[in-house]
Amino acid sequence: MGKGGRALEVVERVSKVERAPSSKPPFTLGDLKRAIPPRCFKRSIPRSFSYLILDLANISLAVYSTKFFVYDGLLNWTMWTAYWVVTGCVATGVWVIAHECGHHAFSDYQWLDDTVGLVFHSLLLVPYFSWKYSHRRHHSNTGSVEKDEVFVPKVKEEFGGIGRYLQHPPGRLIQIIVTLTMGWPLYLIWNVSGRKYDRPASHFNTHSPIFADRERFFVFISDLALLAVASLLYKLYSAMGLAYLVNMYAIPLLIVNGFLVLITYLQHTHASLPHYDSREWDWLRGALATMDRDYGILNHVMHRITDTHVAHHLFSTMPHYHAAEATKAIKPILGNYYHMDKTPVPLALWREFRECVYVESENQDGVLWYNNQVQ
């Protein structure tokens, strides 16, 4: 909790939620691990593949169903919209499984995880190894305003530019639309919203400052895989036409990309969550500065990445199919250090864009909190 009357006034002005604890927790990572049944840490190749195969079967069924989209007018648009939404949501589940491969949570064999991850992330135009490395650093530096890799909030002293003039409902809507439609490619290509480096950073550049020297060859492999997928898409375009490619692939992919940004943003952005500078940051407190969210049935479609994210940050090699049980096991120990917000997602998204504009250290103590007061 903030200290002093002024700090409390800021909290109420920004959000009515109670701030999360920012002090060092009275438990260790080992305490949490001992509370989780050992079976939760076991990875099963048949079970992992079963989720992937089911997702691919559902996508195949959706693609096959488009053969019967022979109607005109509103009914035709309704059927295509259903196809786009269903395929986009299920393909997000495929993305999550490939993401687990990057965490070595798919199987006990790194080569198998990397093979599956490379294939299916590439099919979704994600540079598998490149993102695997930057995402690993996100997990190593979560909550740090200096070293985190994604959705790093601006500190008060850096806030300005065009963002200062978008702090009103129309401007907020523009920000949300741009973030959900362009946020993912902007991050991959130009590191928008990512960590600041001393030179331009990109997930497609083998010499990007994001990567260590030993990782650059695999960044190149990721680029080659994306070129192979691009050639397949070009062949599909040549054979079937642009409209077919857009309807069958591009629009569902936009939905996948939108969900990735939405999920990640809401997991790490909330008025109650602290951020830290180098004076206060440590790994456990950073990992705990995350928020579980409730997406209803989509929690299951997207393999629980939405409502078990706290456990995922604590134990990222744990398979998704054990995350709910693990979350239940550690919640009594976490106490107030566990965060779940069941606000409907559209309302939460609008609220977070309104309230979480920048962070500042109110007492110059290395703990930073969200604020939205623009001078």
End-of-domain residue from the set 104, 124, 144: 124
Domain membership of residue 1 (yes or no) is: no
Given this model, what pLDDT does residue 161 score? 87
Q: Which of 69-78, 210-219, 220-229, 327-336 has the lowest mean pLDDT?
A: 69-78
**Same domain assignment for residues 74 and 148:** no
Q: Are residues 156 and 230 in the same domain?
A: yes
Q: What is the pLDDT of residue 362?
A: 83
Residue 374: pLDDT band (50, 70, 90) is confident
| Mean pLDDT value of segment 202-218 | 98
Q: Angle at Cα 59 formed by Cα 56 and Cα 63, nearest 5°?
A: 135
pLDDT digits (tens, 9 = 90+) for 311-339: 999 999 999 999 999 999 999 999 999 99
For residues 227 and 369, state if they share a domain: yes
Domain shared by 354 and 218, yes or no: yes
| Residue at 152 is within a domain | yes
pLDDT band with cut points at 50, 70 and 90 for residue 249: very high
For residue 180, being part of any structural domain is answered with yes
Domain annotation covers residue 60 = yes
Clarify whether residues 189 and 224 are in a common domain: yes
Q: What is the pLDDT of residue 373?
A: 87
Same domain? 186 vs 302:
no
Residues 210 and 154 in one domain: yes
165 domain-assigned: yes
DSSP 148-172: --SSPPPBGGG--GGGGGG-SHHHH
Q: How confident is the model at residue 5 (pLDDT cuts 50, 70, 90)?
A: very low
Note whether 336 and 347 are same-domain residues.
no
Listed residues 94, 124, 154: the one ending a domain: 124
Is the pLDDT score of 42 beyond 70? yes
Residues 322 and 334 in one domain: yes
Of 246 and 8, the one with more pLDDT: 246
pLDDT of residue 14: 47
252 within domain boundaries: yes
pLDDT digits (tens, 9 = 90+) for 64-103: 999 999 888 899 999 999 999 999 999 999 999 999 999 9
Specify whether the CB–CB gap between 151 and 269 falls below 8 A. Answer: yes
Q: Does residue 34 have a pLDDT over 60?
A: yes
Which residue range is the domain that position 353 belongs to?
A: 135-283+343-374
4: left (phi over 0), alpha (psi -120 to 50) or beta: left
Task: Let me know whether 353 and 369 are in one domain.
Answer: yes
pLDDT digits (tens, 9 = 90+) for 101-155: 999 999 999 999 999 999 999 999 999 999 999 999 999 999 999 999 999 999 9
pLDDT of residue 375: 65
CA distances from 59 to 54, 65, 94, 121, 252 (A): 9, 10, 10, 15, 10
Look at residue 363 in the predicted model and tell me its pLDDT: 80
HEC string for 199-216: CCCCCCCCCCCCCCHHHH
Confidence (pLDDT) at 15:
46
Question: Can you give the pLDDT at residue 70?
Answer: 84
Whether 171 and 222 map to the same domain: the answer is yes
Structural domain contains residue 265: yes
Confidence of residue 16 (pLDDT cuts 50, 70, 90): low
Residues 222 and 278 in one domain: yes
Number of folded domains that form the chain: 3
- Measured CA to CA, the distance from residue 246 to residue 146 in angstroms comes to 39
Among 139, 317, 119, 149, smallest CA distance to 221 is for 119
User: What is the pLDDT confidence band of residue 4, given thresholds at 50, 70 and 90?
Assistant: very low
Q: Is residue 29 part of a domain?
A: no
Any idea how long the chain is? 375
29 pLDDT band (50/70/90 cuts)? very high
